[in-house]
Amino acid sequence: MNWGHKIAILYTSFALLILFMVYMCVKQTDIFLVSPEYYKEEMAYQDRIDEKANAQQANMDIKQEAGMLQLHWNKGAASGSVLFFRPSDANKDLQLPLELDSAGKQNIPTANLDKGLWRVKLRWTQGNKNFFQEKAITL
C-alpha cells in the first residue's frame, strides 16, 4: 500500500468519525439546561431585574441546615412559590407553595431530594411588589 492510499483511508476515517459525532448529537434528547418557555422568560427579563432589586431590600433569609432549608421573613406576610430547579435533569424540578407560619418561617425538608447542585428560586409578592431571589445549594 502506498502513501496515497494511506492518506485516503485517513481522510475517510476522519469523515466517518465526524458523521458519527453529528449523529450522536442529533440523537440526544435529554438536554435540560434551558427552560421550555425560554423566549417568554427572556421578554420579561427587565421585570426579573426589578424583582431581584426589590429582593435585596427585603428582609428575607435562606439558611441551609442538615436535611432542611429554612426560609425566614422578618416582616409582613408573603405569598408565592419556591422552585427547586435541578440543572442536570428537568424531570426532578420541584415547585412548592410559600406557606409561612405565624413567625414568618417555612421549613422545607431536603432529605428526599437527590444529592448534587440545586437552584432554589423564590418568587413572592408582598403588598403590591414582586420579589425574586435565587440561591444555589448543594445537597
Per-residue confidence of the chain (139 residues) as pLDDT tens digits? 889 999 999 999 999 999 999 999 888 776 665 667 777 777 778 888 888 888 887 777 788 887 888 888 766 667 888 888 888 877 888 888 888 877 778 888 888 888 888 888 888 888 788 888 888 888 8
Q: Position 16: which residue type? A: L
Instruction: Check: CB of residue 117 under 8 Å from CB of residue 88.
Output: yes
Instruction: Check: CB of residue 106 under 8 Å from CB of residue 55.
Output: no
**Residue 104: closest CA among 84, 135, 75:** 75
**Residue 56: closest CA among 135, 137, 138, 139:** 135
CATH architecture of 38-138: Sandwich (2.60)
* Pairwise CA distance, residues 29 & 31, whole Å: 6
